């Protein structure tokens, strides 16, 4: 038995969606149904929603309620992500100042992540790949983000730094 792979080319106007910017002839990369195109952004939103519900049901301010940071237990140092759960819980309750006090780096990242998710959703709706957006971000920007994350981890452990997790 021989199996052949068949490639179907669909014009954007025939599929009822915008053409992929990378296609020279105006073809659509994927003419799949809306659910197929949006399953990963919707799954990410569902996961975030479940995580938010869990944070609302179980207070991360209670010592040990969500476990402990292994770096803090072993070294006594705050990792760059320490306070992220407490900060997220504060954001869910509308307390921006409390979230900022728990982890200002995370509070700065949340709007960027929300915008990135919306772009991912819109691209999926239009039948485009999210990888087209990732190509717009230069490699140095990813290294800069990693460097800022690590620098925050160092600075928050300096004596006198006012913003340590509560």
In angstroms, the Cα distances linking 98 to 17, 84, 92, 117 are 43, 11, 11, 24
Per-residue tokens: 120: 């991912």
Express each pLDDT in 15-73 by its tens digit: 444 444 445 545 455 556 878 888 888 999 999 999 999 999 998 988 878 888 888 88
Lowest pLDDT segment from 56-60, 87-91, 130-134: 130-134
12 pLDDT higher than 80: no
Mean pLDDT, range 83-99, rounded to an integer:
93
Express each pLDDT in 113-127 by its tens digit: 999 899 888 888 888
């Amino acid at each position: 038995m021989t199996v052949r792979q068949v490639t179907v080319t669909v014009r954007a106007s025939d599929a009822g969606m915008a053409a992929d910017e990378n296609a020279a002839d105006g073809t659509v990369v994927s003419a799949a149904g809306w659910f197929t195109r949006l399953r990963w952004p919707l799954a990410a939103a569902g996961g975030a929603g479940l995580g938010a519900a869990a944070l609302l049901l179980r207070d991360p301010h209670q010592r040990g309620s969500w476990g402990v940071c292994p770096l803090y237990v072993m070294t006594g140092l705050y990792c760059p992500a320490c306070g992220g759960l407490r900060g997220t819980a504060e954001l869910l309750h509308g307390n921006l100042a409390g979230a900022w006090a728990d982890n200002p780096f995370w509070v700065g990242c949340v709007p960027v992540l929300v915008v990135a998710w919306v772009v991912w959703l819109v691209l999926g709706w239009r039948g485009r790949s999210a990888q087209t957006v990732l190509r717009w971000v230069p490699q140095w920007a990813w290294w800069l983000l990693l460097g800022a994350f690590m620098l925050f981890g160092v600075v928050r452990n300096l004596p006198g730094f006012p913003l340590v997790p509560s």
